Structure 1
Amino acid sequence: MQETYNKQTDKTGDMIFEIELKGNIETVWNLIATTKGFEQWFPEISVGEPGVNGLILFDFGDGQYEESTITAYEPPTLLQYDWDKNTVRFELTDQGDTTILTFTESIVNLTTHTPRDIAGWHMCLQRIQGILESREVSFTEDEFLALFDKYQALLFEK
């Protein structure tokens, strides 16, 4: 997995991950853009309503949901939605038996929570890869904290 942080200002930038996945574009699309797909790698998320101006729902587990608006939806190549004040974007490029997934979180207000989100997305992308390769991918708390520290240093470097 390749990763790049394109810093724009002290509080804004784009965190980009690019990963080659074993699976055709339709298979990958179904993982990243349907409730059945989300259940496999990010079970707190579901699709409330697909399409532009549709909703992605985040279940806090206590009966409350955060609604994220879908801002771009072009099956099977593009899904973009609000993520708190930021935006996340999944772009798929068909390579036949493989698919390139380019994930971007556009950070419009860098906070102390942002590195936690980025570490979480890193783990999610590895889970997606594991699903497509029929292998279990899990993380310990120490592994998560190492990713958090890594992204905290990257995002807040002077």
Structure 2
Amino acid sequence: MYASLDQAGNQWKLTYTRELRQSPDEVWCALVEPRSLAVWFPTAIEGEREEGAKIRFVFPMGDAFGAEEAAMLGEILHFDPPALLEYTWASENLRYLLEPTGTGGTTLTFSFTFDDVGTAARDATGWHVCLDLLAEHLSGALDAAPERKKMIEEQWRPLFAHYAENLGPDSSTQGGPPGADLS
């Protein structure tokens, strides 16, 4: 359930594996449809959903992560429904591999590749919370912004402490997002 951290050339990669009860088609929809992304993903994603498409990540004003109104650019590298979605987010890379289970569910393997190991604990915590939000959304238990904000606030501090301790001292030189209570 927790992320592993590995060096990937000159970058670092966090990898998570989650077992979800929903089918790959259902999980895929939650990864690409704007209404679902609004519940679990930290930004809106604008642009076509196809391989090679340029996309734009837009942080809403007042987001629970503390981001200011801003946009970042990316590109969809792989778009193979409902098995593989991969895209860049500035210099970072997000990859979702969906594999059907024998019970009708999905094994989701998510990896996040980034440059600065000092952000590993922060990023691991953020993506961990996002994947928890995704699972809650898929189960039908989460679909509103106030519930999302509460879940983030409750999970952030203990998860950050876990990742800072388990990923090593170099992983937490960059703290949490503005406004996150890490004390």
Bin for the TM-score computed over the shorter chain: 0.7 to 0.9
Shift of 1:157: 4.4
Shift of 1:67: 1.6
Alignment-derived partner of residue 5 in structure 1 = 5
Structure 1: 4+ residue segments shifted above 3 A? 111-114, 152-158
- Decide whether the 8 Å contact of 1:34 with 1:47 is kept in 2: no
Alignment-derived partner of residue 136 in structure 2 = 130
| One of 78, 83, 90 as aligned partner of 1:77 | 83
Deviation track 1:54-82 (CA, whole Å, cap 9, x = no partner) reads 13432123554212211111111111111
Q: CA RMSD in A?
A: 2.5
Shift of 1:120: 1.1
1:76 counterpart SS class: coil
Q: Distance in 2 between matches of 1:43 and 1:104?
A: 16
| One of 106, 110, 120 as aligned partner of 1:103 | 110
Q: Distance in 2 between matches of 1:2 and 1:92?
A: 18
Shift of 1:101: 0.5
* Matches for 1:80-91 after TM superposition, within 5 Å: 80-91=86-97
Amino acid across the alignment from 2:78: A
Alignment-derived partner of residue 162 in structure 2 = 150
Deviation track 1:26-50 (CA, whole Å, cap 9, x = no partner) reads 1100001222321221262224111
Identity %: 25
- Decide whether the 8 Å contact of 1:81 with 1:89 is kept in 2: yes
Consecutive unaligned residues of structure 1, counting only runs of 5 or more, are: none
Q: Distance in 2 between matches of 1:37 and 1:56?
A: 17
- Scaled by the length of structure 2, the TM-score of the pair is 0.72
Amino acid across the alignment from 2:85: L
- Scaled by the length of structure 1, the TM-score of the pair is 0.82
Alignment-derived partner of residue 56 in structure 2 = 57
